[in-house]
Amino acid sequence: MQYFWLLSGLYMGWSLGVNDPSHIFGTAYITKMLKWKTIAILLCVFIIVGALLQGKAGLENLGSLAKQTNLSAFISAFVAATTVLIMAGKFSLPASTSQAMLGAIIGIAVVNDGSSFTMPPKVWSMMLSWILTPGGCIILTFILYPLFAKIFNKMGIADKNGEMNTEADKAHQKRYNTILNVGVILAGCYGSYALGANNLANVTGVYYGTLLNANGAIWLGALSICLGVLTYGKQITDKVMKTVGKELVELTKFGSFLAVISMAIVMQIYAVVGIPVSSAMALVGGTLAIGIYRKQINRTSIKALRRTILGWIFTPIMGFVLSYGIYFVLKNFFHFS
């Protein structure tokens, strides 16, 4: 019977695996730099490696937010996964798994504690990351963009904006494409590693210390994420990247590389301190910075950004409302605990 409670953890991991490939390799996919089969293999390998090497800190942090029972853990994971799928699948928005999970955990905690509920300090730190994550990526991209553009320009393979020098000979243009293709692959692998290290906690953190030990939580989380990548990741990537990689800012190969590397670095930093953050927020921050730097922000960009921010506002609210409602009914009317 105890394994039944883990089903929503599998569902949560599957949902994250469905949603987050668009944030890691989506820019490479829409610019046709890599085929989906290659992307799926790279994602799965490096997600597992990241989870194994650095996933435990996030597990311990998220697992300590609230005392969990089998039922509360099940509902938290189920609600968070459903929220993410609705946001990404229905509204084509880069949903935040971290926001959905935190909202779900708080909803259940409010039911349990009632009027005595107080927000734990760690929750405030996680909420602050909702601002610092995209903000950090914006700053980092502003630093990296002119740096790499200058390097490529001095090599004679790119113009001052880092884009391919159309006046260069074919040998230099081929060199430009080769360097960027390799760069995007390496950035995507790093991003996949950071995703496994950082977001594993969102999948099985609520089970850590109750139903699962560290090894069980790591392997169940990593493999369920990979299952999502392999089954439905491509379809969601098509939808979400239409919003981020086309409507927000039209990403080129050079922009794709910078957006992903900035996202991976920021997520890696948060993985070290054990705070699961949103790869969606990180990617949008990096992408937005590229648009600002290149003066490509227009009405379509503003409209896409507005929709994205609304998604970030409603994701934790939806997680909170659904978990509060479901847990309240089960606890007070059916006497589950």
Q: 25-36: per-residue pLDDT in tens?
A: 876 787 677 888
Q: 219-251: per-residue pLDDT in tens?
A: 999 999 999 999 988 887 777 665 655 567 777
Q: 286-333: per-residue pLDDT in tens?
A: 989 999 999 988 888 898 889 889 889 999 999 999 999 999 999 999
What mean pLDDT is predicted for residues 17-26?
82
Q: 124-146: per-residue pLDDT in tens?
A: 999 999 999 999 999 999 999 99
Task: Output 119 or 2, whichever has higher pLDDT.
Answer: 119
DSSP 88: I
Provide φ and ψ at 209, rounded to 5°: 90, -10
Integer angstrom CA distances of residue 326 from 63, 74, 100, 109, 332: 21, 11, 15, 13, 10
What mean pLDDT is predicted for residues 172-183?
90
Count CA atoms closer than 13 A to 8's CA, side-chain side. 23
Are 248 and 31 in contact by the 8 Å Cβ rule? The answer is no
Spacing of C-alpha 176 from chain mean position = 29
d(CA 315, CA 317): 5
C-alpha dihedral, 122 to 132 to 243 to 271, nearest 10°: -60
Domain locations in the chain?
2-332
- What pLDDT band is residue 1 in, cutting at 50, 70 and 90? low
- Residue 184 pLDDT: 86
